[in-house]
Amino acid sequence: DTGVSQDPRHKITKRGQNVTFRCDPISEHNRLYWYRQTLGQGPEFLTYFQNEAQLEKSRLLSDRFSAERPKGSFSTLEIQRTEQGDSAMYLCASTPHSNTEAFFGQGTRLTVV
Amino acid sequence: QKEVEQNSGPLSVPEGAIASLNCTYSDRVSQSFFWYRQYSGKSPELIMSIYSNGDKEDGRFTAQLNKASQYVSLLIRDSQPSDSATYLCAVKSLGGGGADGLTFGKGTHLIIQP
């Protein structure tokens, strides 16, 4: 499978716990994006990487959120001290260039109880 | 603040008819426009992209862009029950400040009635 891969697909965690999600983009894509989607809403941009450099962060990304792409390949998104409001689908997308089509992974559905 | 507006629906269309989905956007410097289909509980799937004014056809799908009116639409011909999904309009701007990512509308829920 050469598409964008995300792991895990589902995560249930207790409030206050830390969680980490992984995204493996399409191999030749140097841009990687993280989005969050809640019920009834479109995806909201969180952050993106060009290769290993994190070039943009949304105001939605509080200091409890951190993302890395250490070698310019896979990326991780960590949420510390999770809150019930963090419950959402976390989507990763990749694209070879800034202005071209972005392809999404299957998403990680987070439920904070 | 970049905004993308879509009618949330539901939009109900008989099988075999043409479904017309509309989207308006606020940022005049937007350059790239995309339609994604999203089934319930699944991730968005890219179905069309359009970059210049006019129509772009791909199979049963036609995307239409009018930058002067800041309007983009998606037509689905010969609608099938499998087309029932939420359709997300996404817009990308070039350069400037702010997020480099896509700005999405809330989506239009389309129901194709057999």
B46: nearest CB among A44, A46, A101: A101
- For residue A95, list its beta bridge partners: A31
Give Cα B78 to chain centroid, integer Å. 17
Q: A53 pLDDT exceeds 60?
A: yes
Tokens of B23: 């989207």
Beta strands in B59-107 (DSSP E): 61-66, 71-76, 85-93, 103-104
A1 falls in which pLDDT band (50, 70, 90)?
A: low
Q: A2 pLDDT exceeds 80?
A: no
Pairwise CB contact (< 8 Å): A40 & B106: yes
- Residues B63 and B34: their CA atoms lie apart, in Å, by 9
Of A47-56, B67-76, B95-104, least confident by mean pLDDT is B95-104
Q: B94 pLDDT exceeds 80?
A: no
- To the nearest whole angstrom, how far is the Cα of A96 from the nearest Cα of chain B? 13
Pairwise CB contact (< 8 Å): B44 & A91: yes
Residue found under tokens 């019920």: A39
Average pLDDT, chain B: 92
DSSP letter, residue B24: E
Of A25-29, A58-62, B40-44, least confident by mean pLDDT is A58-62
DSSP letter, residue A78: E
What percent of chain B has pLDDT above 90? 83
A61 falls in which pLDDT band (50, 70, 90)?
A: confident
The predicted pLDDT at position B72 comes to 97
Q: Which residues of B touch A (CB under 8 A)?
A: 4, 8, 31-32, 34, 36, 42-46, 49, 51, 88, 90, 92, 94, 99-107
